[in-house]
A and B are shown apart, each in its own frame.
Chain A
Amino acid sequence: MKVAVIQFPGSNCDQDALYSLREDIGVAAEYVWHDSTSLVGFNAVFVPGGFTYGDYLRCGAMAATAPVMDEVRRFAREGRPVVGVCNGFQILCESHILPGALMQNVNQKFLGQDCYLKAINRTSPWTERVEGVVRIPIAHMEGRYVADAETLARLEGDGLVAFRYVSPTGELSEEWNPNGATNAIAGIVNDKGNVLGMMPHPERATRKLLGCDDGLAIMSAFRLLPVN
């Protein structure tokens, strides 16, 4: 397994993702620069968080037009594994690899804190090992997931909601939905289940020293996926 960590100007969780994948998950990982036009030799893609191109336009809108994203689109279409976290999720939405959009948090402030997640979909490689409630940090200003009614109905009806924000004991409540996301959606998968986008940072929670390793349940999929 060799993971491509896509690096845009302004990515700032690229090193964290690389380090988590290599050191904590135990797979090979390399940076792929934004102007690259090939993903040959890679088995999976990780689009990390950050402020790509400064995010002075809509978050992820510029990155969605980078040359490498054509390859990521093709990669996803072919059913191969792609994960986007935080700004990476925003980029996947802006690239139309995943539906919906991420709007400003309901309190209009950046939120850097822990949150609690429950896996709703249990069949994708990213969610099948997530038991009960996991604690994963968030760090974003635009993380409120929104989509049109039809898309939401499809996400809910087809079991494509990957994670919901919940209380530490697993209940749904607005109090524990930090950014006001529609249906408390923290992450979604595509209909084939090979693409995951999520606002919380599982790569920040893969070692006990960092206070929490609940992210292993999500990130370990990179080690367990069949090499395609």
Chain B
Amino acid sequence: MGLNETEYNLIVRLMGREPSLTELGMFAVMWSEHCGYKYSRPILAYFKEYKKAMEGEGLENAGIVDIGDGLGVVMKVESHNHPSAVEPYQGAATGVGGIIRDIFTMGARPIACLNSLRFGPIEPGQAEPEVVVRNRYLFEHVVAGIGGYGNCVGVPTVAGEVAFHPRYSGNPLVNAMCVGIVKIDEVATAGANGIGNPVIYLGSATGKDGIHGATFASDTLGEDSDAKRPNVQIGDPFAEKLLIEATLEALQTGAVAAIQDMGAAGLTCSTVEMSSKGGVGMVIDLDLVPMREADMSAYELMLSESQERMLAVAHNGREQEIIDVFHKWGVHAVVIGHVTDDGLVTVRRHGEVAAQVTAKHLTDFCPTYSVEPKVPDYHLRAAQFDPSGLPTVDFADALCQLLASPNIADKRHVYRQYDQQVQTQTVLVPGEADAAVLAPRGSKKGLSVKIDGNALHTYFDPYAGGVGAVVEAARNVACTGAKPVAATDGLNFGNPQLPHVYWQFERAVRGIADACDALGTPVVSGNVSFYNESTLGEVLPTPLVGVVGVLERAENRVPGRAGAGLSVGVLSYTKDNRQEGLGASAYAAVVHGVEDGLPVLADLAGEKSLHETLVRLAAEGLAKSAHDVSEGGLAVALAESLAEGTGLAVDLAALSDGLSDAGLLFGEFPGHVVVLTDQGDAVSRAVSAGIQWTVIGSTNPNGDVNIQRGDRTLIATTEKALRAATNNGLDEALMKPVGVVGVQ
């Protein structure tokens, strides 16, 4: 079940007796890494909000951010990596369902989904043919699963990212994020309260699916992983849609005292966490639980991860109001027990007590572990990387190669499979801007959301990668004109018991925490996923950060591209020229096949000033477009800033700072943003201290793209050629023949 001998002995000591099978199962899931955070809790204390919550009232399902006007934003990211590796469609679909439940269980209406996905290579030659075929299968089915669930449930999928790397073959990463909006004074709580209050089971019937899913999530994928298909849950987005509407309507009655979704560890987690959080106990009778199969044991019922279920506590005497609402929507609602004052979760089945455990033992006594971190040799060697050793190439070809590479290419193949506009609040859709912007009904404000992470950067320098994930997501949000206000993180790593993985984890989290402190974007929620490894190796350390920002007026949103007749300028702070920005860069990897070197560490004070500047430009209507420099460097950012049919002529001499041509074009310097404007002088007056504004050229209607350095032409091409590269890149990568008949 995943418990070791010491942990078992601790359980016996806490209980004063040997646990029953059901009790042991409950401990195993609650003390799994997925629920108990054994290896991560000490490090997560770097996050101030997390530390405060652990020392105080405990964590709510998703953090809340006050955005003014009496409104709060709720958001969280969660991984569904292992289920998706085994059964990609359902794994991804239920990942979306789970994160949506985390949001509406707080009384918030889910208004947007995002996702961040990682797969092994989909192009022949980058992995064994059968691995490429398998990666394509995982990619297509994960995307279909996300769409299949999100589209049906009526929550738009508005932003995300997808990347490919050999280290994800065998263990893809599927992180889903959801954002909701709630009136601050209507936030629901998960803490059970009111002795004698009835406990109500809500939602779909319980079946034998997903038993021990949380334990599965905390193990390593191996040869026998296919046998774990029964551990994967099956999603029913229609049931979820009904559950959303019924839950939000029931909360409006005022009859709900507490509510929590049944996610990982199902009935166990919800009864135990609600009791522990409220400092109370609960008696439940499993005979009353709606079941898909009559012969389910207490063990199966307590550990099933059947989807689309919730647990609520009603104010005594008002349970019928809740039941009536759920019945209107055709959803099960059954009183299965009541709240007690003894702090025990007591579970009855067939008239007998099948389990009786102290709730706090399960939530607060899970042991934590730390590991002596070890700095890996590859990190030390990366400091020696010298970009001048990369051979000279044709820069126009290199730019097209980068734009067409699956990591950088436009992801229309993916986002076209998502309903981006249902709820009619999406005012900037995927492909239009650096982040998605929503205009919630009943408010003038806009919400900008994005999720980001650069695993290659993180691999070579986890601290810089952690910082980078935060500043990149926040910068993307700021590019649309929104002030970044809060963050959520999805931390995907290998086996934390390995010293180098623990080092990656600790450094990355420190980077995220430092960046969030400096930018004033607290981490309000998050998820840790360890043991992301398979027989094909361990994944790149992949911290993902979702950031939400606020536009005072949604109509001031700034897109990522613009047309002809505008000045092209770059906002930046002083560059750290470490390895010319080419360490761990896409240019070195894609064009030269070299993955080495250290990424540039962002300057946090500079970033904050840059974001302030971007917010000001938007509010004053000075920017026609804003797009940040990230993977592929300035050249890629310039290409991506052009509306269809628009060309540009720029001279980069003023930006060179002694860089080589390659560094100037493709160096991945944080804190650089390409702005297209018809008011260049006004922009120069609007920038914050420490930010430079450099006009480098203009856009034209004839579609010619010319990038000069003084009197030398570095790149001469057309917008049409660049657009074809980025728009078709992903489809072409998927179409390349692999040369063998594949197996799935």
Contact = CB atoms under 8 A, between A and B. Distances in A.
B182 interface: no
A25 B137 CA distance: 45
A51 interface: yes
B153 A12 contact: yes
Interface residues of A, number: 29
A112 B241 contact: no
Interface string B147-167: 110011110000000000000
Contact of B236 (A54, A141, A204): A54
B242 interface: yes
Contacts of A111: 416-417
Q: On chain B, which size bracket covers the interface?
A: 20 to 34
B419 A10 contact: no
A13 B422 CA distance: 6
Interface residues of chain A: helix, strand, loop or mixed (majority): mixed
B329 interface: yes
A77 interface: no
A135 B163 CA distance: 31
Contact of B422 (A10, A139, A211): A139
A211 B417 contact: no
B105 to A, nearest CB: 19
B411 to A, nearest CB: 13
A113 B415 CA distance: 9
B378 interface: no
Contacts of A137: 421
B318 to A, nearest CB: 23
Contacts of B415: 112
B423 A51 contact: no
Interface in B414-428: 415-424, 426-428
Given A9-B330, A204-B424, A209-B427, A139 B417 contact: no
B200 interface: no
Interface stretch (A14-22, A156-164, A218-226): A14-22
Given A13-B422, A204-B424, A211-B427, A112 B242 contact: no
Interface centre among B147, B152, B236, B237 (most CB of A within 10 A): B152
Contacts of B330: 9
A12 B241 contact: yes
Given A110-B418, A110-B419, A12 B154 contact: yes
Contact of A10 (B144, B238, B421, B554): B238
Given A13-B422, A54-B236, A203-B424, A110 B241 contact: no
A118 to B, nearest CB: 21
Contacts of B147: 110
A115 B416 CA distance: 12
Interface in B449-470: none
20 contacts: A9-B238, A9-B242, A9-B330, A10-B238, A12-B152, A12-B154, A13-B154, A54-B152, A54-B237, A55-B238, A110-B151, A110-B419, A112-B418, A137-B421, A139-B419, A141-B151, A204-B424, A209-B555, A210-B426, A211-B429
Given A9-B238, A112-B415, A112-B419, 11 more contacts: A12-B152, A15-B423, A16-B424, A109-B144, A110-B144, A110-B419, A112-B416, A112-B420, A139-B422, A141-B151, A210-B427
8 closest cross-chain pairs (CB), A and B: A12-B154, A54-B238, A51-B152, A139-B419, A16-B424, A110-B417, A112-B419, A110-B147
